[in-house]
Structure 1
Amino acid sequence: MEKTRVAPDTRNPDKLDRAVIFLGPPGAGKGTQAKELAEKYGVPHLSTGDMLREHVSKGTPLGVKAKPIMERGDLVPDSLVLQMIRERIERPDCSHGFVFDGFPRTVAQAKYLGELLKHHGYKRPFVIHLAIDPPVLLRRLTGRRTCKVGGEIYNIYERPPKVQGICDADGGELVQRPDDREEVIGPRLQAYEKQTAPLAAYYGRLGLLHSIEASKSVEEVGRQVLESVQGVHGAR
């Protein structure tokens, strides 16, 4: 596998030039914070959930395999996820850094990612753990609605649209994802605790983990995220 990374763009003083990883249970706000951070630095926001759902909607071979697994609320196996991740970060638009949302989910994935990043010449990843209490998680997940057109995320309790069921941005229909149903949330959280929670300990041992309390407002959490990232690489 040849290295595909190109030289950093020296015209941009706010370079990221690394992978940023968001950890935390479903509903902690990883997607929201990852998207905002990616927009700040002009790098791709890589949501494995969105990427998998796109494969499912397009009926790709990977999507056909992943669909029943996702509908049960189970974690998609490494064989599918790693293939998708490897192909994505080797694209030119990832050459100046990127923000992960939903990956890695296991220590095995984290080790694979570490080797992949090293191979392509990236700095060590910056890992943000969004910590949040279970009752807040349940409210966030059951209230979450996603735009069928643009993927914008709302919450009927905390961040409702101006018009019920309609996206403010593009007028698309807002729907509840199958894996946000209350009967599926339990298995999702159990899977997280079993497979993903140990990642915090793994990255902590490597000295890469930065924990942030995620039950605060989106704006406050975003401010703390940005301060943490700026502090580690000296961006302005």
Structure 2
Amino acid sequence: MLQALLQLFYPHVCEGCGRELSSTEKILCIRCDLQLPLTGFHKTAENPAERMFWGRVPMQRVSAGYFFYHQGILQKLVHAFKYKKRSDIAIFLGRRLGFQLKESGWAKDVTALAPVPLHAMKQRHRGYNQAALLAEGMAEVLGCRVWPHALVRNAFTETQTRKSRIDRWANVENMFAWKTGRLEGPAHILLVDDVMTTGATLEACAHAVLQAGEAVRVSACALACAAR
């Protein structure tokens, strides 16, 4: 009865279609969950996300959990955690990414997750860094550490939306720095971001990570990549 009353006054609805969720569903109903466009990149080396960085920066592995389509369910979820204070959605999706990487096996030697940083001004406005929340959800599944402040953004940059590949690179070049100190011995750092389009931001972050030590390796995982 108590659960029924809570549902009446505080209804839990699917973020995709608005249908009321069952007691076993969270964030998405089963129907909308099955519509999320999985990439399967975590299972395959030399996947399209990985090939984006060939000749640009040495990445061990690169994955993106889902394809990002305009007007799709995933876009609703991304907008909710970026602009509507829905941090719970970011953590939920981070866990999904964590299960993908755990299934693949290649992330088992990851030293720490390093989320792509926001400029302090933007983070104060938003209230959190959504990449750090994704990393938090991933870490729960992978059992590894999150270094939320390992990378810092040196200057405020304009939004990457609607910029060309060249403009995106010019917008972030030399904008990131490694601030955790030099890493002695082997380390595998996994960069975490929300949506990967041209890869310019992750490329710039990877170059910064590789300055942390001679035996440092870097991989990257985004929640989604732009569908082509």
Q: Please give the range of the TM-score, normalised by the shorter of the 2 chains.
A: 0.3 to 0.5
TM-score, normalised via structure 2 length? 0.34
Specify which structure has the bigger relative contact order, considering alpha-carbon pairs within 8 angstroms and separated by 6 or more residues: 1
For normalisation by structure 1, the TM-score amounts to: 0.33
